[in-house]
Amino acid sequence: MGLGKRRHLAGPHAYDRQRLRDTMHSETILEKIIAQTQHVVLRLRVISVRCGPQSGIEVSVSSSPQQQDFYPSTLVRDRKWHNLSGSFREVCLARMQGRSFLSKMEHLMAALTT
């Protein structure tokens, strides 16, 4: 993010060095909002990565069901437990762009957040 122009100015609106150091290390309101939004968006989709010596790398993606017909019972009261039985779809890594597994995962995570 960087410092704003007002923080660099001299005069009555200028910050001292300690205040500048504190603002650089603390989270701004915009950063908090972005982190909360990313948390909500990322909870809608789940990525499962399994790596075995014989099976190789398997990547699966599950989307949270957007159903409104959830009826709480005596056993399941919270809506989040309704997502456990979601179906996973396997991702074909050979068809994805990117040379390494890491770059392919970055592309996949970027696609899921948009």
- Angle ∠(66,67,70) on CA atoms, nearest 5: 135
The backbone torsions φ and ψ at residue 44, rounded to the nearest 5 degrees and listed phi first, read -75, -20
Q: Which two tokens stand for residue 73?
A: 């019972």
Report the alpha-carbon distance of residue 88 to residue 36 in Å, rounded: 25
Q: Which strands sit side by side in the sheet containing 89-90, from one edge to the other?
A: 45-52, 56-63, 89-90
pLDDT at 101 over 80: yes
Q: Which two tokens stand for residue 76?
A: 């399941």
What digits encode the pLDDT tens for the residues 31-64? 777 777 776 666 666 777 778 888 788 887 776 5
What digits encode the pLDDT tens for the residues 61-88? 776 555 555 555 655 556 555 555 556 7
Q: What is the mean pLDDT of residues 9-19?
A: 67
* Count of Cβ atoms closer than 10 Å to residue 15 Cβ: 16
- Structure pTM? 0.41
- Confidence at residue 113, expressed as pLDDT on a 0 to 100 scale: 66
Where exactly are the structural domains of the chain? 1-42, 46-114
Instruction: Measure the N-to-C terminal CA separation of the chain; round to a whole number of Å.
Output: 21
> SS3 for 52?
strand
What digits encode the pLDDT tens for the residues 22-33? 777 777 777 777
